[in-house]
Structure 1
Amino acid sequence: MDWIDLRFTRFIPADGRLLENGHQSLGMMLLAFLLVSIACYTVLEVIERIRQAQQPLSRWLWRIVGALCLGSGSWVLHFINQLPEAEHAHIVSGASANFSSLCVATVSAFLAMLSISETHAKPARLLTTALLISLSSGVLHVFAIAQNDQVIALFYSPLLVMAALTLSCAFSCAALFSYERQYAHTPSISLLSRITASVSLALAIEFAHSSGIEAIATDVATVAPPSALIGESHMALIVSCLALLGFAASLIAAARDKQLLVNQRDFSRMNSLLNQLDHARTSLQQAANYDGLTQHLNRRGLNLAFTEKLLKHQQNSTPLGVLVIDIDHFKRINDSLGHAIGDSMLKVIAGRVSSALRNDDVLSRLGGDELCVLASLKSKDEARVLAGRILLAVKEPIVINGRSMVMTTSIGISMFPEDGDTPDELLKHADLALYQAKGSGRNQMHSFNSQLKAKASVELLLEEELHNALRSDEGLQLFYQPILDLHSGKLSKLEALVRWQHPQRGLLSPDRFIGIAEANGFIAELDNWVLRRACCDLSLLADAGHEQIKIAVNCSALSLGRKELVKEVSDALLNFSVAAQRLELEVTENALMGNIEQAVDLLQEIRAQGVSLSVDDFGTGYSSLAYLKRLPIDTLKIDRSFIQDIPSSHEDMQIVQAIIAMAHSLQLKVVAEGVESPEQLSFLRNLGCDSIQGYLLSRPIPMQQLLSFLSDYSTENSFVYNP
């Protein structure tokens, strides 16, 4: 078929006629508009499927479905609107012409789908797509009319054509813009936006059709019209039903695909959440079982690894070595250089210990500066070899922030099965061996043995019994050793010494249980008991006529760091109505130097109450004159180690002479401990020593004997008094 004549003109020819002149019924127009609106809504659903499709093939298939929906919707609008009234039956196109026009509409729609189906289309792309939709609608209508053999020529009005395209493009832009904005709203508003976009797009196609028809006039050949095989209403109904079936199938497919995509996303989200939970669980396990500083197992992780490793060795009947490692004097690093330097040093030492181990050995940080190693070893000799490697590795100089430092370690060793068959027992025995190594001078290793176990059992029992003795106030008692004033010849002072009358072990001296109290955290309770009992005995002495005698009470290093000590002293004096001048607090030289700043402040508060202060065991520590001058003390007590070899040791005599001269220059009194011979007494008197105490005068005696001793004492004891 030859292409018909197309002409642009402002005037309709005299023998031409308008293609439509108000002959379509309102019902047909509404039906056509409804169908194209449904088609547009389906297209928008399909566009969403294209944008969310994961596979390229799926996107192309959905583009084809969208093109079929858009093209058939536009074609249905043209087909129904051109169904004739009786007087216009001669311009209805044939089947081949309708099929050709449907193909043209589908191809044009496919081009538009290629443009709009990109994710988050930009404004320029939206405008291009709107123009493509408008042009494709116009091309469809012109092509459909031109396919009719009875149409000789088409005359176009340029103004009406431009108006039709402009209106169509405007409504297309509005529709596409509304569709793009729907994702920014709630689901209900999003649905309303999509419906609005569908109606706007349908209006665009309607304008492209109706306004374009108004712009066209035709020359029609005078041929008799064909007989109508099917009525107009039936034809419209058939086409509408077929179109609706196609649109419904497309919507159902889109909805199913959407649901599948939602399910896939939910499944992916669930997998992602499960992966996150697994990652979080792994992170929590890492945090729960590993030390954050050294990245080795912590105590909890060690317990799990220990149980697993021990079970394997029990099944194979092979030995397992447990090494507990403590860094010597690590507290000094934290106190002097700060915890940041201490942490860095701890990481370096942990790395060096790890480098000395084998691949299957387990290293953990128990806490603080204590490490633990689990190693498959054949004997304690092999364990000592491993411990020796660790000692050598740690002793290498460590350079941190430009400072080179040398650190040492102490190591305790226990073996499965000879030293225990549970993790707790093996760790406890390795700890006991570690304490033995530290007590032997540090920087060495020590293996657990039965003697350590027996000693630990005894100390554990003593700890429990000492607790009970303090709670029940039974068994503990104070012994007093008199102190003689060499200037007046009077017994001016008593030193309170605690003893424990154990029901099975007899009378125990302080060296048997003071260390237990200090190691287990109740030395302050014991010190307070001694303080209160001494004040009670001061009250009894006053009632017996010895109101001038003072009592010196020892204060441990741990108690000297407690601010509560000041109140405990004042409460004890107040409760027993004792003058503060009758109480003296003795502190060791090393206890003072351990925390000099805090000790000075604490002692000044006690001194302000009227309590006198003395330094015990002077000469055995590392105090200096600068520190000694700052301390609010009244008396220096020369340690017995400098007295016991007098007069045979010339060096000790010179040391004692220097201490007495220094103390007197600082306006301090001097007490010599451990005086046991008249020669020692004579030497000290000649040097101007103020007071003495020792076996020459009396051994420590309990309170019951003390009153008799004080009553019997007189100036007859000329061996100690010579004014």
Structure 2
Amino acid sequence: MTAGEVEIELSCDSAIAEVQTRSDGETPGDDIIASLKVDTPRRRHFLLRAAYDGSRLECSLQDVTERYEATQTLHFLSEHDPLTGALNRRGLDKYIEQAREAKGHLTHPLVIAYLDLDRFKLINDLFGHHIGDAVLRRVYLRIEAELESHNRVCRVGGDEFVILFGDTPLEKAASLSQAIVDAIGERPYEIDHRAFHVRASLGLIESPANLSPREAISAADCACREAKIQGKGRIVVYGHGANMFDERARQISLLEQFSGDQPPPGLFLEMQPIMSLATPHEALDFEVLLRMRGPDGLAIPPAKAISAAEANGTISALDKWVMETTLKWIDCNRSRLTRTRFVSVNVSAASLNDERFVREVGILFERYQNVVPMLCVEITEGVALHDLANTRRLINSVQRLGAKVALDDFGAGYTSFPYLRDLPADALKIDGEFVKNINRSPANAAIVEAIIGLARNLGMQSIAEWVEDAPTLELLQSMGVDHVQGFAIARPQSPDQILAATSAADFITDPDILAVIDARGALYATDDDAFRSMH
């Protein structure tokens, strides 16, 4: 558009007068552009080009309907979802920023809901995406029907929506959110002579002013996931002062600590004894556990530290640190670990599939080859079975260097038994979920006994986790399990406490536990035959 050109909207009857008014004072020859709207069965748009020389007005009209409508469509699609007509992520960010800019004129903070349809993927998988799309459009209409004019809906994923409650008190937004969840699931969606039942979960937050749009949506997503855990058709609501926001800030800070190639400061190791039931007073075996302290000196839950490392892609560096620190510690204290037959160390799924990690661990094993035979690498069963060929290759290489391999959480995977014959592991570590309720669940007892027998027949050792009381220990003992681990034996200990002990039984303080192992100890052989596969 050149100098002097103006785009205006007007009817044909007033076009000339408007152009004359707008062009008054212009130099001769300047153009003025007007978009003319004419009421016809299809509303049309015209471009008026006019030149005024002071005494005469020359005009031309051009039908630009197609171009105008295409431009409007592109503008709409830049901020809206083409399937439902809801806002897309760009439109969502723009709306949130506008709401924040207007916060001085608003009575209430911005309230954001994150809505997720439960098990919606089944509809797409079983009936096709065209059916799923039809259901999504109708879900969107039900959401819109419950909202007020100043509320907005955004589709952020296949079956996920964000709802923005502008200048709405949290209590009212919660009421509207529950109405939305109820409306979505109250009656089926009839499409192509079929009826589809859909349920939704929703997380609602009152966004603190210091949260960015992305952080606010992420917080609402977390609330939604909590709602899904509680059951279908639930909503979870957090006000702006909720502890959840402080917890998320701590999680983000933790993620930032795992941002480099090197593990963050504050890492240290603890060790939990694993007791041999054949020689409880003669063996000192244990599992190495990662621990971390924050900048304030307070302990960070291990699961959170590991999740942060996985999220930032630094879990392999963390696993390497644990492996190297453990091997170095064993090497330095070898003379004081004469009763230690194996030291278990966990390796994550990401590290197992990281060629660099596998190569670096091989170098570590060469450097500490004198103590590698004491090492037992634990691989989670589900990870091992996910890529059987890679797992078999890793097991062979680890065993070739002298270390042992245990399949951790055994029994949790539904394909365990058929594949077990192809994995030459040295031990099976029974999933603690089966062990902890073994006295109250005949089914769990049957599964545990089957795993113990399977390990024995395959020449492997069996290790039961989460042993927490004497009755559980006694039942496991009667089944013939080789090793036990859990709070009934000992909680995680510092390395110095491990070095000060002579056996795993030294840590037992419960007289009932001591009575069980002392009364039944004579039933077990005292030679090393029972442990040959772990040596």
TM range (shorter): 0.5 to 0.7
> How many angstroms apart in 2 are the aligned matches of 1:623 and 1:667?
22
Which residue of structure 2 aligns with residue 608 of structure 1?
396
Q: How does 1:661-672 map to 2 (within 5 A)?
A: 661-665=453-457, 667-672=459-464
> How many angstroms apart in 1 are the aligned matches of 2:83 and 2:299?
48
Q: How does 1:131-150 map to 2 (within 5 A)?
A: none
Shift in CA distance, 281/566, structure 1 to aligned 2, threshold 3 Å? farther
Deviation at 1:515, TM superposition (A): 3.6
Instruction: Decide which of 473, 477, 486 is 2:268's aligned counterpart.
Output: 477
Deviation at 1:404, TM superposition (A): 7.6
Partners of 1:398 and 1:406 within 8 A in 2: yes
> For structure 2, which runs of at least 5 residues remain unmatched after alignment?
1-57, 507-513, 526-535
Deviations along 1:411-450, one digit per CA (max 9) or x if unpaired, are 121347x777975565354334334324545642111232
Three-state SS of the structure 1 residue aligned to 2:365 is: helix
> How many angstroms apart in 1 are the aligned matches of 2:169 and 2:407?
49
Three-state SS of the structure 2 residue aligned to 1:323 is: strand
Cα RMSD, aligned residues only:
4.5
1:683 aligns with 2:475: yes
Deviations along 1:239-297, one digit per CA (max 9) or x if unpaired, are xxxxxxxxxxxxxxxxxxxxxxxxx99x88xx68x888766654543443233555432
Instruction: Decide which of 326, 332, 349 is 1:534's aligned counterpart.
Output: 326
1:709 aligns with 2:501: yes
> How many angstroms apart in 2 are the aligned matches of 1:378 and 1:440?
26
Partners of 1:647 and 1:679 within 8 A in 2: yes
* One-letter amino acid of the structure 1 residue matched with residue 321 of structure 2: W
> How many angstroms apart in 2 are the aligned matches of 1:559 and 1:330?
33
Three-state SS of the structure 1 residue aligned to 2:81 is: coil
1:430 aligns with 2:220: yes
Which residue of structure 1 aligns with residue 86 of structure 2?
296
Partners of 2:339 and 2:502 within 8 A in 1: no
Deviation at 1:352, TM superposition (A): 0.6
> How many angstroms apart in 1 are the aligned matches of 2:468 and 2:89?
53
Partners of 1:482 and 1:495 within 8 A in 2: yes
TM-score, structure 2 as length reference: 0.66
Relative contact order, CA 8 A, sep 6+: which one is greater?
A: 2
* One-letter amino acid of the structure 1 residue matched with residue 87 of structure 2: L
Shift in CA distance, 712/309, structure 1 to aligned 2, threshold 3 Å? closer
Partners of 1:481 and 1:701 within 8 A in 2: yes
> How many angstroms apart in 2 are the aligned matches of 1:682 and 1:318?
61
Partners of 1:293 and 1:343 within 8 A in 2: no
Shift in CA distance, 573/419, structure 1 to aligned 2, threshold 3 Å? same
> How many angstroms apart in 1 are the aligned matches of 2:503 and 2:442?
38
* One-letter amino acid of the structure 2 residue matched with residue 552 of structure 1: S
Shift in CA distance, 308/678, structure 1 to aligned 2, threshold 3 Å? closer
Structure with the bigger percentage of helix: 1
1:285 aligns with 2:72: no
Instruction: Decide which of 343, 351, 375 is 1:551's aligned counterpart.
Output: 343
Deviations along 1:636-676, one digit per CA (max 9) or x if unpaired, are 22344554567677665555334423444555431112345
> How many angstroms apart in 1 are the aligned matches of 2:183 and 2:421?
42
Partners of 2:452 and 2:479 within 8 A in 1: yes
Three-state SS of the structure 2 residue aligned to 1:494 is: strand
Deviation at 1:497, TM superposition (A): 0.8
Shift in CA distance, 392/677, structure 1 to aligned 2, threshold 3 Å? closer
Deviations along 1:293-313, one digit per CA (max 9) or x if unpaired, are 554322112122333456567
Deviations along 1:680-700, one digit per CA (max 9) or x if unpaired, are 444333322122223454432
> For structure 1, which runs of at least 5 residues remain unmatched after alignment?
1-263
Which residue of structure 2 aligns with residue 349 of structure 1?
136
Partners of 2:271 and 2:287 within 8 A in 1: yes
Which residue of structure 1 aligns with residue 180 of structure 2?
390
Deviation at 1:372, TM superposition (A): 1.0
Shift in CA distance, 558/471, structure 1 to aligned 2, threshold 3 Å? closer
Structure with the bigger percentage of strand: 2
Deviation at 1:476, TM superposition (A): 0.8
Which residue of structure 1 aligns with residue 107 of structure 2?
317
Partners of 2:255 and 2:311 within 8 A in 1: no
> How many angstroms apart in 1 are the aligned matches of 2:76 and 2:90?
11
Which residue of structure 1 aligns with residue 529 of structure 2?
none
Deviations along 1:110-146, one digit per CA (max 9) or x if unpaired, are xxxxxxxxxxxxxxxxxxxxxxxxxxxxxxxxxxxxx
* One-letter amino acid of the structure 2 residue matched with residue 322 of structure 1: I
> How many angstroms apart in 2 are the aligned matches of 1:586 and 1:315?
59
Shift in CA distance, 300/588, structure 1 to aligned 2, threshold 3 Å? same
Partners of 2:346 and 2:379 within 8 A in 1: yes
Larger Cα Rg: Structure 1 or Structure 2? 1
Deviations along 1:454-490, one digit per CA (max 9) or x if unpaired, are 222232333334558x836532112222323334655
Instruction: Decide which of 635, 638, 642 is 2:430's aligned counterpart.
Output: 638
Partners of 2:263 and 2:317 within 8 A in 1: no
Three-state SS of the structure 2 residue aligned to 1:609 is: helix
Which residue of structure 1 aligns with residue 484 of structure 2?
692
Partners of 1:643 and 1:652 within 8 A in 2: yes
1:411 aligns with 2:202: yes
Deviation at 1:498, TM superposition (A): 0.7
Shift in CA distance, 478/467, structure 1 to aligned 2, threshold 3 Å? farther
> How many angstroms apart in 1 are the aligned matches of 2:168 and 2:436?
50
* One-letter amino acid of the structure 2 residue matched with residue 688 of structure 1: G
Instruction: Decide which of 444, 449, 465 is 1:673's aligned counterpart.
Output: 465
> How many angstroms apart in 1 are the aligned matches of 2:169 and 2:130?
34
State, as a whole percentage, how many aligned pairs show the same letter.
26
